[in-house]
A and B are shown apart, each in its own frame.
Chain A
Amino acid sequence: MSRILTTVLMAATLSLGFASAAWSHAVLLGSTPAAEASLDVSPKEIIFNFNENVGPIFIKVLDRSGSEVGSPGEWRVDGNDVLMSLNDELPNGTYIATYRVISADTHPVGGSVVFAVGEAVASMGDVAAAGGETSGWVIPVAINRYVQYGAMLLAAGAALFIVGMTVPAGVQSSVYRMGRTAAAVAAVTYVLALGFGGAEMMLGGPTAIFSIDAWSQSLASTLAPSALIGVPGLLILYFAFGKGPEGKSSPLLIAGAAIAVASFLVTGHAATAAPVWLMAPMVAVHLFCAAFWIAALYPLAKTAQVAGVAEAGAVMTQFSQRAVWTVGALFLSGAVITWTQVEGPQNMLTTDYGLRLTAKLTVFFVLLGLAATNKMVLTPALEKADGAAPEKLRRMIKFEYAAMVLIIGAAVSLTLVTPPRATMDMEGGMGGMAMGGGYTTTVTKGKYTADVSVDPAGTTASNMVMVTFKDDAGNPVEMVDVTISWSLPTAGLEGIEGRGEMVTPGMYHFMFDQLIIPGEWDARIDAFVDDFDKQIFRTTVPIK
């Protein structure tokens, strides 16, 4: 009897105690004003809409100083909505509406929504754009850049080929025509790059290219000096090619090629990376070598077609001698650029940039194999006046063309993503101390450390947070999931949460636009090493 009594008593008590466990906690579905809304007039009331009926603990509207504003009236519950009237008009400014409610399961839930009256909410959109957001303009940008790269390299390379090689008489005019056409096309793409690039920068719609803002944006960027250098260089080449073989001017051709290549040194990830004294020359060498190789393919194929076997053999022999140095310099300069941009072999297969570079290198090695076949098999065959060799050479050059097309594509795709070096700079650029309005700190938990940077550590703009996790050996640690939860106890703010996006192994990026009140903000970083092992890092960030 006693056992039955005991069992019944236990079951009854437990079922009473745990009944509420079946309920879920409240989720905010929307609000009025909406998050990040910019209102023309002050709102008459604040409405929070939840997925279930809730009981308010408090609702308040705070200004940037953390003071409660709006002379709120009583709040009331209407279905799943919680409403609070504002008796006073809010002056123009940015505000944060914060709540703490009790869910149906009696669990308290807090959160906040930022909105503005008579002004734009601190530029979340602008900072998001800087953080990698793209518009539909990225496609025209990429296509134009592809044509630009190919045409510029072809024009500069044709000049180098004419100056550096003995071009058979029957091929000369074709090379000049190719160079001239490429120079004209490339010059146009520099101008288009300004329009497309500006439209992309402002995340514009279909008509953005016609707006003054788009062109202003691009003229203020590195696209402008690039065009200012590149277009004159290409016009020089256009003029030099226009003179034809009879009026060959090596100084003009060299000058035009050098200026055109120089236009690539004032923009882009690689040439502008530190140390510039090393990177800019490396990129220049890389471009000169690539240009010479790309532009040589057409004249070589043409030579194999129109010239006699002996003459073709002589040209190929000359080219092979130059190609040894060209390929060597191309490879070495490429290795230096790669090492600087990727910052370690581990990033080659684990980052977007690294994967694209790996693809480019793979095709490059295929191209190298084709070139080696030309040098070691076909060139000796031409020298021996093998009648079948020219046709084989032309066929091989077609494969080289295909490889070049892929390599230029891969090179363009590299310009559309951020290299690991740049993301490291974003995270580590402040070197452990506050600079330029940013704040950095390191938090240790067990064998893990979290390097945290908040930029700006102020209320004037959206706050970008970068967190990098490392183990006790200093190696980056990829987490399954990382969230940050902010609270400002002095203002009663809590529940401002964000989930991190991994930008490079172990490094996570967050954006927050709710830290609009100065104070000592508590940040709690929950990082899951695996599905079940959670490490909690806590720190306090002074937001000014």
Chain B
Amino acid sequence: MLKSALLTTAAIGAAALMSASTASAHNYMTTLRAPAGYMADMEARAAHGCLAEDIKEVRIKIPEGVYRVTPINTREWEVETEMRKVDPPVPGDGGRPITRTVDTIIWKNPTAVTPYNRAEGFKFRAKLPNEPGKVIFWQMVNICEEGRDPYTDLPETAFDTKDPNFGKKFEEFMGSTAHAAPYTVLYKPAMPQYPWEWTQEDIELSGMTPPEQTAEAK
């Protein structure tokens, strides 16, 4: 496991280092890494406005496989969501099918301007796909009074950090565009998010006692 994690880390790190020298600027996810399958708080950051203009609106497209999306309230912005159908429906937590999900989150009409040379964070909560090694791209666009600053470019094929050529492919993609969509790398978490999903190994690792065991002990 350590070897696998080290290899993955090395691949991501190398790709990130290489991409930094080409096109890593612009909008990005502060949540660059997130545990696969977790309900996680995410943050996208608009690094600057459209050239010399202030940002008036930010839109993020929620990628396939990401569900149960809730914007985290930001008092300075109005937040809206646009929905899309999930066809065919996918099983949600508790077995109920998910038939509709958030397609786009829109932050708009800020009460105070975000100067073009200042970054701003936009937070939301989402259930991430349980696919360790996957790289999720969050297409994002900053909208200003006159212009737009899109970060929407996607790789032609999906990335997987377990791919031995991942670093090279990642570098090539990031070097090919100045408008790459912000991304998050999913890693295999040490244990499931919620205690009721833990295996015996998780319980032993955590050093905690599950509630039912506590009850039995009594």
Residues of chain A at the chain B interface (Cβ within 8 Å): 2-3, 5-7, 9-11, 13-14, 16-25, 27, 29, 51, 103, 105-108, 480-481, 499, 528, 531-532, 534
Contact = CB atoms under 8 A, between A and B. Distances in A.
A2 B3 CA distance: 10
Nearest to B185: A14
Given A10-B9, A25-B25, A532-B152, A107 B141 contact: no
B33 A21 contact: no
A18 B26 CA distance: 12
Contacts of B117: 24, 51
B126 interface: no
4 nearest A-B pairs in the assembled complex, by CB-CB distance? A17-B16, A13-B13, A105-B25, A24-B48
A54 to B, nearest CB: 13
A29 B13 contact: no
B30 to A, nearest CB: 9
Contacts of B141: 531-532
B61 A21 contact: no
A9 B6 contact: yes
B8 to A, nearest CB: 8
B6 A6 contact: yes
Give the interface size class of chain B. Answer: 35 or more
A20 B24 contact: yes
Given A10-B12, A105-B20, A531-B150, 11 more contacts: A11-B33, A14-B12, A14-B16, A17-B19, A17-B20, A18-B24, A18-B32, A20-B24, A23-B47, A106-B22, A107-B25
Given A107-B25, A531-B59, A14 B33 contact: yes
A533 B102 CA distance: 17
A65 B128 CA distance: 56
B28 A13 contact: no
Interface string B39-78: 0000001011001100000010100000000000000000
A16 B10 CA distance: 12
A305 to B, nearest CB: 57
A453 B40 CA distance: 49
A79 to B, nearest CB: 15
Contacts of B52: 27, 29, 51
B215 interface: no
B201 to A, nearest CB: 12
Q: Which has the most chain B C-beta neighbours within 10 Å: A11, A106, A480?
A: A106
Contact of A105 (B5, B14, B24, B148): B24
